[in-house]
Chain A
Amino acid sequence: MRVLLVDDEEELVTTLSERLALRDIESDWATSGEEGLRLALASHYDWVVLDLKMPGMGGLETLRVIKRQRPDTQVMVLTGHSAEDEFEAVMRAGASHYLLKPLDVDDLIAKMQA
C-alpha cells in the first residue's frame, strides 16, 4: 500500500511517514497542495492523506483535481477543525474519510485497510 501525505506542517508529515514506514507502509509526503497534486498525478497511490487548510492550493481543490484525474485513488481528509459545511463539501468531492487532528496512526491504518 502506498500512501501520500500532504500537509503544510512538515514535522507532521515526516513523522507520520516515518511511523507508517515502521509499519511497513510506503509513503511519500508533500508540504503544499501543488506539490501533493504533482506527486499524486505522477504515480499511483492507494491513499492520499490530505490536510484541508494549506497556503496556496487548499486541500479541497487538491482533492477535486485528484479525484477527477485519479478517481481510483482514495483520499482521506485531515483537518484541524471541523465544520458542517466543510464536511459536506469534502464528502461530495469524493473523500472517503474526514478526520480530526490529532489522529491515531493505528486508527488511520485501520481505516485504510478497511
Chain B
Amino acid sequence: MSLWSRLKPAFWDQSQDQPTQIINYRRLWKSTFGAAVGVALLPVILLGIINYYQFEEQHQLQRAELDHEVQRVIYKTRVSLAYFLEERRSALAYIVRAYSLPELGDSRHLARIFANLKGAFGGFVDLGLITSDGLQKAYVGPYALEGKDYRDQEWYKEVLLRGFHVSDVFMGHRNFPHFVIAVKHECDTCGYYILRATIDTARLNELIATMRLRPSADAFIINDSGVLQTSSRMHGQILSQFSHPLPPPLEQNQVVQARSAGGLPLILGFARIEGSPFTLVMVEQPSLVLARWGLLRINIILLVLASVIAILVVIWRGTTNLVSRLYDADLRRQAVLHQIEYTNKLASIGRLAAGVAHEINNPLAIINEKAGLLKDLITSRDDSPYKERFLASVGSIQNSVKRVSAITHRLLGFARHFSVKIEIIDLELLIEEVLGFLGKEAEYRNVTISTQAQPGMPTIESDRGQLQQVFLNILNNALNAVAQGPNQPGRIDISIHTQADGQAVVAIADNGQGIAPENLERVFEPFFTTKGEQGTGLGLSITYGIVRKLGGQVMVESQLGRGTTFRVVMPLRKTPASANPQAANGQGLGASGGQ
C-alpha cells in the first residue's frame, strides 16, 4: 500500500457529482488546505526570507569586520616589528658614531660595548667591525669570525651603497635562523667601516606571539621572494616557500581574499616592514571564525523546515478531520433524506392501499354474506338434490372471499402503520403456525423445511400477528428462491436461538438462487423487486419496517447460486411506546407477497 493510499481521506475517491451531494469535498479540502497553508506558511516564509537577508548582511559585516581586524592586527604588529628593527639599527648607528675606529677595533672594548648593547636591547647574538677592506677587524660573539672576508658578499655591497642593510633570515654556519643588521660609517681620516650585528629571529617570533591570534589564524614573516622568515603553524617551516603569491604591487598594508589548497576561503593580510626585506603575513580562516554563524544558519534553516513540516502535518490532519466530519454529516443527512423519502413512499402506498381495500371490502362483505346466506339456506333444507354441489360452490366462493380478504387486509396492514400488540411469544410455536400456512406450498414445490430450536429457548415479548407477517414474508421469498434456484431438492433451514447478547435470533437459510451483490443492499427498499411484474417490491420493505418497529433487526447474507440467509434478531423484552393493548379484532394483518 502506497503512502498516499494510506494518507488519503475517505471522501477522496467518492463521486463528487452526485445530485444529493451539496459539497465537492475534494475541492473543499484542497481550498481549505491551500488557504490554511498559505496563511500559516506566509509569515514563516517571510520570516525566513527576512532572516536570510539579515543573516547575509550580518555575515558580510562579520566578514568585513574580520578583514578590518586582520588589517588592524598586522598594522600594529608591523609597527612593533619596524620599531624593533629601527631600534636596533639606531643603536648600531649610535655606536658606530659614538666610538672611534680604534675603540671599535679593540676587541675588549667592542666586547664591553656588545655587553652593554645586549643589556639594553635583546636579540643580539654577536657584533663585528668590518673595515673598508672587507675584513672583519674585530668580533664579539660565540664564533671565531675575526678576520672573515665579506668583500664579495651581496649584503656588504648593499651596505656600501645604502649605508645600512637588514638581511634575510638565513641559517648560516651557525645553523640557527638569524639575520644581520649592518651599518656603515664614514670618517674623514679612515674612509669607512661597518658595524655588523647578528639578531636572533626568536625576538621576531616573540613579537608575532604578542598578536594573540585565534586558533584559526596564523602569522609569520616572509621576505620579498616569499620565503618564510619565521616558522608558521600552518604554512610551512622557516625558509620554506609561502604557497600564496604576494599581491603585486605590495603596498604597506594589504588584505586580500584567497583560497586554501583545500578550497577554503582565506583572508591574507600583508604588511611591508620598511627598511627591511620583511613582510608580515597574517592568514585568517573566516570559515572557522564564522563557523558559529554557519551553524546558526543551519539551525535557522532546520527550524524553518521543521516549522513548515509541523504546519503542513497539523493543517493536513486538521483539514482532513474537518472535511471528513462534514462528509460524515452529509452522509448522515443523505441517509435521513433517504429514510424520509422511504417513509413518504410508504405513507403514499398506505393511503392508496387503504382506499383500495375499503372499496373492495364493502362488495366483498356483500359477496361473503350472500354466499353465507346461500350456505345457511342449503344447509337448513337437506332435501335439495343439489345440496352437495351448492355447498361446494358456496365453499369455493367463501374461500375466494377469504383470499381476497387476506389481500385487502395485507394492504390495510400496510396502511395501518404497524400498530403493535405485545404478547408473550414462543418463537418455535410461532414459526410452526407460519409453516402451517406454507406447508402445502412447500410440499407442492418439493421443498424440505426443517426447524431447529435451541433447548430452553426463552419466550419473547412482541406482536404475534406482525411477527407472523415477518416470517411469512421471508419464508414466501425463500420458497420462491428455492423453486427458481439451481440446487434441487430445495431446502430451507430455520434456526431459533439466542445470541451472545441474549437477543433472540431466527435465521432462515435457503439453498435458492441467491441475491446478486448489487441487489443485496436494496432488498429492503420499497418497490425494489427482482420478480418483474410478479413482485410488488413491498414484502421485505414491510418486513424491515415491522422488525424495526418491534425493536429488532433484520439482516441478509447471500451468495449467488448458493442461497440466502435472513436473520431476524428480536429483543426478549420489548414494550414499544406505540403498543396498543386492544388492537384490532385479531383478524391479522396478513402477509405481503414479498419482494
Interface residues of A (CB under 8 A from B): 9, 11-12, 15-16, 18-19, 22, 53, 79-84, 87, 91, 97-103, 105
**B462 at the A/B interface (Cβ < 8 Å)?**
no
Identify the interface centre among A83, A87, A102, A105: most chain B CB within 10 Å of its CB: A102
Q: List A contacts of B376 (CB < 8 A).
A: 19, 22
Residue of A nearest to B582 (CB): A91
A81 near B357 (CB under 8 angstroms)? yes
Contact of B369 with A by CB under 8 A? yes
Residues of A near B580 (CB, < 8 A) are 84, 87
- B357 near A15 (CB under 8 angstroms)? no
The answer to whether A101 touches B415 (Cβ under 8 A) is no
Task: Indicate if the CB atoms of A83 and B373 lie closer than 8 Å.
Answer: no
Contact B368 A102 (CB under 8 A): yes
Q: Which of B355, B369, B401, B584 contacts A87 (CB 8 A)?
A: B584
Q: Cβ of A102 and Cβ of B419 under 8 Å apart?
A: no
Contact of A98 (CB < 8 Å), options: B357, B364, B409, B585:
B585
Question: Closest CB-CB distance, B427 to chain A, in whole Å?
Answer: 26
Contacting residues, chain B, for A102 (C-beta < 8 A): 361, 364-365, 367-369, 401, 405
Query: At the interface, is chain B mostly helix, strand, loop or mixed?
Result: helix
Identify which of B354, B357, B359, B368 gathers the most chain A CB atoms within 10 Å of its CB.
B368
Interface size class of B (residues with CB under 8 A): 20 to 34
Given the interface contacts A22-B380, A99-B585, A100-B361, does A81 sit within 8 Å of B405 by beta carbon?
no
Residues of B within 8 A of A99 (CB): 585, 587
In chain B, residues 334-377, which have Cβ atoms closer than 8 Å to a Cβ of chain A?
A: 354-355, 357-362, 364-370, 372-373, 376-377
Within B88-140, the residues touching A (CB, 8 Å) are none
Q: Which of A19, A53, A80, A84 is close to B365, meaning CB atoms less than 8 Å apart?
A: A80
* Cross-chain contact B412 with A100 (CB below 8 angstroms): yes
A70 to chain B, nearest CB (A): 23
Residue of B nearest to A100 (CB): B587
Inside 8 A of A103's CB, which chain B residues have their CB?
Answer: 365, 368
Contact status of A9 and B366, CB under 8 A, knowing A83-B354, A99-B585: yes
The answer to whether B369 touches A12 (Cβ under 8 A) is yes
Interface residues of B in 570-587 (CB under 8 A from A): 580, 582-585, 587
Query: What are the residues of chain A within 8 A of B373 when measuring CB–CB?
Result: 15, 18-19, 22
Cβ A98 vs Cβ B369 within 8 A: no
Complex contact A101–B419 (CB within 8 A) = no
A105 touches B372 (CB 8 A): yes
Knowing A87-B584, A91-B582, A100-B587, the reply to whether A105 touches B361 (Cβ < 8 A) is: no
Q: Are A81 and B412 in contact (CB under 8 A)?
A: yes
Contact A19 B369, CB 8 Å, known A80-B361, A98-B584, A100-B361: yes
Query: In the complex, what residues of B have CB within 8 A of residue A80's CB?
Result: 357-362, 365
Cβ–Cβ < 8 Å partners of A22 in chain B = 373, 376-377, 380
Please, which residues of chain B bring their CB within 8 A of the CB of A87? 419, 580, 583-584
